[in-house]
Amino acid sequence: MENIRIKIQRIENKFDDIPLPEYATEGSSGLDLRAAVENELTIEKGKVALVPTNLRVEIPVGYEIQVRPRSGLAAKHYIGVLNSPGTIDSDYRGEVKVILFNFGDQDFAIKRGDRIAQMVLSKVYKAALEETHDLNNSKRGEGGFGHTGTK
């Protein structure tokens, strides 16, 4: 497995007690992101919160970081990443923040250092668009949402 070097920077040292993102297990594909909040942050049911991480990253050109939900938060508490997966482009240098949505019917509290999402490094492929007047036919054709049915 190839290791790609990602530079990471803490923005404020008042959050130095919060661990940097890390893989939970040897087989993990995502690094856990943690909430950099001073006080408990409550996401009301049906509402959105922009959760800071106190981190900035420098990603090599040709890569992106995708921010994805944590399965435990989704399954147990109905908390998801609203724009999943969120994309951090290689030229972005602002703070990594996570857009969390509470899909549940109860408010959800996030505490300092809680694992709130995961970030996955992904290779980026650039598309070379070629405008045309003709496209090859396919078996599916113009069949859209739900055209194959449920059985």
Mean pLDDT of all residues in the chain? 95
For residue 51 the two structure tokens come to 């959760």
Neighbours of 99 (CB within 10 A): 16
Mean pLDDT (whole number) for 118-140: 94
Structural domain boundaries in the chain: 28-123
Q: Is 26 exposed, middle or buried (0-12, 13-18, 19+ CB in 10 A)?
A: exposed
What pLDDT is attached to residue 140? 82
Element containing residue 113 per DSSP (H, E):
none
One-letter amino acid for residue 148 of the chain: T
- The rounded distance, in Å, linking the Cα atoms of 64 and 85 is 11
What pLDDT is attached to residue 144? 77
> Which CATH architecture fits 28-123?
Distorted Sandwich (2.70)
Mean pLDDT (whole number) for 55-62: 98
What pLDDT is attached to residue 4? 96
